A = this chain, B = another copy of it.
Amino acid sequence: MIKVKGGVTAPKGFLASGVKAGIKVSGKKDLALIYSEVPAVAAGALTTNRCKAAPVKVSLTHLNAKTHQSIIVNSGNANCANGKTGQRDAHAMTSGVAKLLKIDERMVLVASTGIIGQALPVEKIEKALPALVHELAKDKGTDFADAIMTTDTKRKELAVKIKLGASEVTIGGSCKGVGMLYPEMKTAMHATMLAFITTDASISKKMLEESCDEAVWGSFNMVSVDGDMSTNDTCFIMANGLAGNKKITGKDANYKKFTEAFKYLAGELAKMLAADGEGATKLVEILVKGARTVEEARAMARKISISNLLKCAIFGSDPNWGRIVASAGASGVDFDIDKTDVYLGPVKALSNGSIDASFTKDKARRYFKDKNVYITVDLKSGRSFARAWTCDFSKEYVTINSEYST
């Protein structure tokens, strides 16, 4: 596997665009499109929030179609809690694109991100659609990545190349989402996290769905910025087969190789989300190991990753590691604290439930000043492990989120 340049347009046959439709008050790009030159199979992981935004509902229906060719995305408005009007507007987006691209409406998927509970300015979107389609190009992947951002400070895209038999297969992706970020998506995710993956692999829809589930589980679904689950979280993947590899129709060696590459790409994109979390100054990785089951490791890692107290401590380089122990204990996982070790990077803090003899506050304080903070909790009770990613909690997060809609 090698990294290659670009994002969603890196695989063969994918074009993209991003334009200014006037949804964002800032006047920045806010409408984005992906198009596959040939019909592709698609899989989606969408929010499990009970209050789903209109585009999520529309995409869940459209995903039942056999093939797809396009994804339209707007930022600046979530089109959520807008009742029947919201549904109509989401359909206006997919049918408008379908008409211009001369494809069936159900071949178009849709995603929105932004403020909840404000009518979508759908007439602005409709007016911008011709330009959006006209702009579609191989070199407009960055425009797409820019147009899906909200409070993101950095464009997020990545692509990798693998060999499946004699064929070169590329997987590309772009994502956004730095607040209201605590996804728990199902083959069909959640945070307002949006992730769009494209590939020229030849793979059946069923195998793509399974691969998507596997990749999302250990990546996007293990990221948290604030523990607030969104109504709009969406991850779509489209596979158009143009790489010409022998079609993946079962869980063979090629499926595994493809899924490993997909997992890697999703994991790296997930870390980009955490590192760019609202107000973030540091990327934090939490590894829980020595657990009896991966579900327990995952539950504990995720619980620790949403501790406001720990995240504040890391922001201030305050060596208050006891907050890790309190969160682990609050995770609902049954474990023996008297067997548990905790490390802050190379610094051992807790040894078998007591402060490690070598621990000093100064060592911890120095370590917490790093840009990347690694925390390890070793339960020494089994062989299972899980990783979760988050960021520190700064005053800037409060500033951003106390003035978001004004």
Binding site for B on A (CB under 8 A): 49-52, 78, 80-86, 115-119, 179-180, 182, 190, 226-231, 306-309, 312-313, 315-316, 318-323, 325-335, 337-338, 349-350, 352-355, 361, 365, 393-395, 397-406
Question: Taking CB as reference atom, which chain B residue is nearest A309?
Answer: B228
Question: Taking CB as reference atom, which chain B residue is nearest A308?
Answer: B226
> Separation in Å of the A201 CB from the closest CB of chain B?
34
> Separation in Å of the A263 CB from the closest CB of chain B?
26
A353 close to B402 (CB less than 8 A): no
Question: Taking CB as reference atom, which chain B residue is nearest A229?
Answer: B330
Question: Taking CB as reference atom, which chain B residue is nearest A332?
Answer: B50
Which chain B residues border A118 with CB–CB below 8 Å?
322, 355
Which chain B residues border A306 with CB–CB below 8 Å?
227
Find A352's partner among B83, B115, B330 (CB 8 Å cutoff).
Answer: B83
User: How many angstroms between the C-alpha atoms of A229 and B309 in the bound complex?
Assistant: 10
Question: Taking CB as reference atom, which chain B residue is nearest A300?
Answer: B50
User: How many angstroms between the C-alpha atoms of A320 and B353 in the bound complex?
Assistant: 43
User: How many angstroms between the C-alpha atoms of A52 and B400 in the bound complex?
Assistant: 36
Q: Say what secondary structure dominates the interface of chain A.
A: loop
A406 close to B316 (CB less than 8 A): yes
Q: Given contacts A329-B50, A398-B398, are A82 and B354 in contact (CB under 8 A)?
A: yes
Which chain B residues border A81 with CB–CB below 8 Å?
322, 325, 337, 350, 353-355
B395 close to A229 (CB less than 8 A): no
Find A49's partner among B84, B330, B353 (CB 8 Å cutoff).
Answer: B330
User: How many angstroms between the C-alpha atoms of A176 and B389 in the bound complex?
Assistant: 33
Q: Given contacts A313-B402, A401-B313, are A325 and B117 in contact (CB under 8 A)?
A: yes
Which chain B residues border A335 with CB–CB below 8 Å?
50
> Separation in Å of the A315 CB from the closest CB of chain B?
5
User: How many angstroms between the C-alpha atoms of A228 and B322 in the bound complex?
Assistant: 12
Top 3 A-B pairs, shortest CB-CB distance: A116-B322, A316-B402, A51-B329
> Separation in Å of the A26 CB from the closest CB of chain B?
17
B404 close to A399 (CB less than 8 A): no
> Separation in Å of the A369 CB from the closest CB of chain B?
12
Question: Taking CB as reference atom, which chain B residue is nearest A353?
Answer: B83
Find A51's partner among B82, B182, B319, B328 (CB 8 Å cutoff).
Answer: B328
Question: Taking CB as reference atom, which chain B residue is nearest A328?
Answer: B51
User: How many angstroms between the C-alpha atoms of A179 and B338 in the bound complex?
Assistant: 26
A80 close to B116 (CB less than 8 A): no
A338 close to B83 (CB less than 8 A): yes
Which chain B residues border A312 with CB–CB below 8 Å?
397-398, 400-402
Q: Given contacts A398-B315, A398-B398, are A325 and B116 in contact (CB under 8 A)?
A: yes
Q: Given contacts A115-B320, A330-B49, are A80 and B325 in contact (CB under 8 A)?
A: yes
Find A398's partner among B117, B179, B334, B395 (CB 8 Å cutoff).
Answer: B395
Max count, chain B CB within 10 A of own CB: residue among A118, A190, A315, A337: A337
User: How many angstroms between the C-alpha atoms of A230 and B327 in the bound complex?
Assistant: 8
User: How many angstroms between the C-alpha atoms of A305 and B349 in the bound complex?
Assistant: 32
Find A80's partner among B182, B322, B394, B404 (CB 8 Å cutoff).
Answer: B322
Question: Taking CB as reference atom, which chain B residue is nearest A322?
Answer: B116
Max count, chain B CB within 10 A of own CB: residue among A50, A182, A333, A395: A50
B402 close to A325 (CB less than 8 A): no
Which chain B residues border A404 with CB–CB below 8 Å?
313, 318, 320
User: How many angstroms between the C-alpha atoms of A308 and B307 in the bound complex?
Assistant: 11
> Separation in Å of the A248 CB from the closest CB of chain B?
35
B353 close to A50 (CB less than 8 A): no
Q: List 11 A-B contacts (CB under 8 A).
A: A50-B333, A51-B337, A81-B353, A226-B308, A227-B306, A312-B397, A316-B402, A318-B405, A319-B406, A397-B398, A398-B398
